[in-house]
Amino acid sequence: MFILCFVPHILFEASCTGCRCCASGTDCITTNGVVECLDPCDTYTVLNDTWRSTENTDNSILHCDQDISRSVWYRFYLGQTNAQIPEKYVAEQRCGTSASLWINGNHPVQLNEIVTRNLFDSWWGYSYRSSYFASIAIQIKLCSGYYVYKLQQPFGCYMAYCAGAGKPLHPH
């Protein structure tokens, strides 16, 4: 069962900010122009790009995540394997981009828990959270055996989200 959220002022991909009718573990997600409270574990877009790997040092083609939609939940894969955004520093010039994006914090450990984490980037050998990134946070949800992410667009190119091999802890 789900609850339908009617938010008349929403246009296109605007998020459902202020929609307080969604149950815990769900989010306001727009599908075919209808805003509904859905479980992001069941409604996500797959990102399966081998260039996102933290092991990738080939930067002959630089990638950018400027097309990331803020109203969509994403699930990372590397090939056939679940992947996750790294929780610690990733060197610059990795993940198929100049500035690698990662989080400095833990992923959720409770099944269906959603946490918010700030973005960090690596640029020219430095690990920092710029004033712009200090205000940019992503949401992460632990599903059954994988994570989904509500990402934000980086402020410029060439910045992209990294993905590393990882497996969620057994949910509590």
What pLDDT is attached to residue 11? 30
- State the Cα torsion 157-104-47-19 to the nearest 10°: -100
- Distance between CA atoms of residues 107 and 110, nearest Å: 9
What pLDDT is attached to residue 4? 40
Along the 172 residues of the chain, how does pLDDT read in single tens digits?
333 444 333 333 334 454 557 888 888 888 888 888 999 999 999 999 999 999 999 989 999 999 998 889 999 999 999 999 999 888 888 999 988 899 988 999 999 999 999 988 877 555 555 444 556 899 999 999 999 999 998 877 889 999 998 666 555 4
What pLDDT is attached to residue 40? 96
The answer to whether residues 27 and 16 touch, using CB atoms and an 8 Å cutoff, is yes
- CB burial of residue 172 (10 Å; 0-12, 13-18, 19+): exposed
Interacting residues of 143 by C-beta distance below 8 A, sequence separation 6+:
40, 41, 111, 112
- Rounded to two decimals, the pTM is 0.81
